[in-house]
Amino acid sequence: MVIVRRSAEPGEAELYALVLRARGIDCEIIGDRGQFHLLVSSENVAEAEAELKAFEAESAPTQKEAAPNVRYRAPIEIVLVYWALMLFFFAAARRNFLSIDWLDIGSAQAGLIRAGEAWRSVTALFLHVNGTHLLGNLVFGSLFLLLLTQILGWGVTALCVLLAGAGGNLLNAMVRPPFHDSIGASTALFGAIGLLAALRQNWKTRGASSNLRFWVPVAAGLMLLVLLGTSGEQTDILAHVFGFVCGVGLGILLFLLNSKQPSPTRSQWPAAATAFILIGAAWILAVVAR
């Protein structure tokens, strides 16, 4: 008799024996010093090994592909750059820096955007009505930037939030009357909320479309949109909604492009450079066209 399996538990040995007996292979179990040995005759060793290996392969738990748990460090630098840009353009607009009416050349006036001045969808994100307006966007913007940075990395976050905000302003201009005018970073802020909702939906609970938990991130994003984006007499609610929608769309696109990892480390600097080029180009066009 030849030993084909050793087990520390009698139940496991009995299970192996049951598999072999079901296939008509004679076997016996012998206990020895806390070990249980499964033995078969020498002529049945090859057949027994094949049956046991097939059984083990079939009964092994299926390894589901683990959802990525990539978490980037949330650098405070992205918040400092965000504050620096917002404070610079706020001060420039208040003091007519370089004798330029920054509000006039940079606001998201619907008629002018539709007439071809698409850069206003970007420049309007950096202008604010007053200090209260600015402070609210600085505080909430910093929070959501830090949260999003942990998922996408700082460079991809900067580019995606900029694109979501600009996209929201563009869509808003398409449906508003020509005289409609708006400014503020809040459209981009709600783009960040939409991105967070979409990314958590896809990368944290993917494949669970029939599960109620699948919709929790989106529901949370919509609640924030209602709570933070629909108050105040001068609030451009539609711009906030479009920013949120663009953020969700970008989040889904990122998932479709790369479902295994949100954004590789090597893409951070190119993405950040693209964001700064878009901002610089938009303001250069605004100044040149005035």
Would you place residue 67 in the very low, low, confident or very high pLDDT band (cuts 50, 70, 90)?
very low
Kindly state the tokens that stand for 58. 């079939």
Q: List helix spans (H) across 60-153.
A: 76-95, 102-106, 110-114, 120-123, 131-152
Class of domain 2-59: alpha beta
Helix (H) or strand (E) holding 224: helix 216-229
Would you place residue 218 in the very low, low, confident or very high pLDDT band (cuts 50, 70, 90)?
low
Which residue ranges does the chain devote to CATH 1.20.1540.10? 76-289
- Find tokens 């610079």 and name the residue: 88
Would you place residue 234 in the very low, low, confident or very high pLDDT band (cuts 50, 70, 90)?
low
Q: Is the pLDDT of residue 145 over 80?
A: yes
Would you place residue 31 in the very low, low, confident or very high pLDDT band (cuts 50, 70, 90)?
confident
Q: Which of 233, 235, 254 is nearest to 243 (CA)?
A: 235
d(CA 155, CA 162): 11
Q: Is 5 helix (H, G, I), strand (E, B) or coil?
A: strand
Mean pLDDT over 123-132 rounds to 94
| pLDDT value, residue 10 | 84
Q: Which of the two residues, 57 and 274, has the higher pLDDT score?
A: 274
Ramachandran angles phi, psi of 43, nearest 5°? -75, -15
| pLDDT value, residue 263 | 60
> Cα–Cα distances in Å, from 176 out to 63, 112, 165, 260?
52, 12, 16, 39
Question: pTM score > 0.75 for this model?
Answer: no
| pLDDT value, residue 59 | 74
Which residue ranges does the chain devote to CATH 3.30.70.1070? 2-59
Q: Is the pLDDT of residue 264 over 80?
A: no
Determine the CATH number of domain 76-289: 1.20.1540.10
